Amino acid sequence: MKHIASSLVIALFAIQVHADSTPQTVPPAETMLGKGIPNTSQEWSVEDREHDDGPGRVIEVKQGETRVAALIYGEGQLKPYLAVYDNDGRRISNPGISPDGDTRGRFPHHRGIFIGWNHLDSNLGRDDLWHLRSGESMTLASINAAESSETGAQLDVTIHWISRQRDDDQDGLLLTERRRFHIAREEGRTWIDQHSELVAARDLRLGGDLQHAGLHFRADADVDSVRRQTQYLWSPADLPAGNGRIVSDSLQWVNFRFPLHEQWYSVTQLNHPVNHATELSWRDYGRFGFFFTDALKAGETRVVAGRFIFDERAEKGDNEPIRQRAQDDHNTWVTSQ
C-alpha cells in the first residue's frame, strides 16, 4: 500500500510540475539587500566560531560589542537559521533547543528566521523540509562570504536541501539554496534582509500549507506563556484575521508585538512582490510568515525575499503609528530598487 501511495504522489507530481511551472524573472540580490536602510554609526564585526549556547557553530554578527544576529548551523542543529538579539544582546528568537541539545518549548523546529516547505514533491516522492524528522536534511555546504562594513554585515552561504530518499545514482539533492543576509542596526531598530535563491536539482514542486511552509520568524519560546497578550497587524488592513490564515494577492507586511524580558518588542516582516505570496500565516505564540506554492524544473531558480525589522520602542494597543511605520518601511524598500 505504501508503494502504491508513493507511486501515486510521483505520478501526480509529474503532471503538476509541468502544468504549473512558469519560470520566475529573477531580480539580482543587489537590488534588494540593504536598500533603503539608513547608514549605521558603529563598527561591525563578523566571526565564525563554535556555538557557546548550544551545539554546532555560529557566524556571529556584532555591532560594537553587542551581538545582533547569528547564523546557527552544523552538527546537532536541525537546520541553518538566523538567531536575533535585542539592543542589549539578549536573544528574542526561538533556539528550539537548550544548551545541552535537548528540545525546548512547543514546536522546536521553528527557529529564528527560517525557511522550508513541508511538501516538496519530486521523482523521489514527497519530502518534508519543514519538520525534517524523517531523514530529510538542510546542510550548510559552504560559507561564501561573511563580511562587515560601515553599513552593517553581509552573510552569503550555500545550503543543500536533501531528500530522505536516493535516486539510482545515490543522489538525494532536491535543491541548492544560496542564502544571503544584510544586517544593520540604527537608532534602536534592526534591519535583516534575507534573499534566498532556490535552484532545483530536479523537477520538483514546493507545496504544503501556509502553517508549514514559506519564509517565517519565530519569537522565543517564552512568548508562548503570554500568547494571549500578543498582537498582530497586517496589510491590507481590511483582510479578516481568518484564525491565523489571511488570503490575498496583495499582501505587503505583517507586524507582531510581544512581551519578553519585561518589555515589549515589535517585529515587522515585509513581503517583497517577487514572492507572489498568496497567504499569510500567523500564530499567537509568535510564529508567522508568507506562503506560496510553485513548481520548478531542474535548473530553474526561485527567489524568496523578505525584510525583517525589529524595534524595541513598541507598546501594546498603539496600532496606528505601528501601521503607518510598517507601510512606510514597505514602500521605501520596494521603491528603492
Cα gap 256→288, rounded to integer Å: 8
- How high is the mean pLDDT of the chain? 90
Give a yes or no: residue 319 inside a domain. yes
pLDDT tens for each residue of 142-199: 999 999 988 899 999 999 999 999 999 999 999 999 999 999 998 889 999 999 999 9
pLDDT tens for each residue of 127-141: 999 999 999 999 999
Of 89, 125, 148, 94, nearest to 285 by C-alpha is 94
Which residues are paired to 270 by β-bridges?
Answer: 253, 307
Which pLDDT belongs to residue 18? Answer: 45
CB neighbours (10 Å) of residue 23?
10
Give a yes or no: residue 330 inside a domain. yes
pTM: 0.91
Of 324, 139, 118, 147, nearest to 210 by C-alpha is 118
Give a yes or no: residue 179 inside a domain. yes
Cα gap 215→211, rounded to integer Å: 11
Give a yes or no: residue 12 inside a domain. no
Give a yes or no: residue 57 inside a domain. no
CB neighbours (10 Å) of residue 58?
22
pLDDT tens for each residue of 287-301: 999 999 999 999 999
* Residue 129 φ then ψ, to 5°: -100, 35
Give a yes or no: residue 111 inside a domain. yes
Torsion sign across C-alpha atoms 100, 102, 106, 112:
positive
Q: Count of domains in the chain?
A: 1
Q: Which amino acid is at 280?
A: L
Give a yes or no: residue 77 inside a domain. no
Which residues are paired to 156 by β-bridges?
Answer: 145, 180
Cell 554578527, residue? 61
pLDDT tens for each residue of 45-103: 999 999 998 999 999 999 999 999 999 999 999 999 999 999 999 999 999 988 878 88
Set of cell numbers at residue 178:
544560496
pLDDT tens for each residue of 274-286: 999 999 999 999 9
From the centroid of its chain, how far is CA 62? Answer: 20
Give a yes or no: residue 129 inside a domain. yes
Identify the domain containing residue 308 by its residue range: 107-335
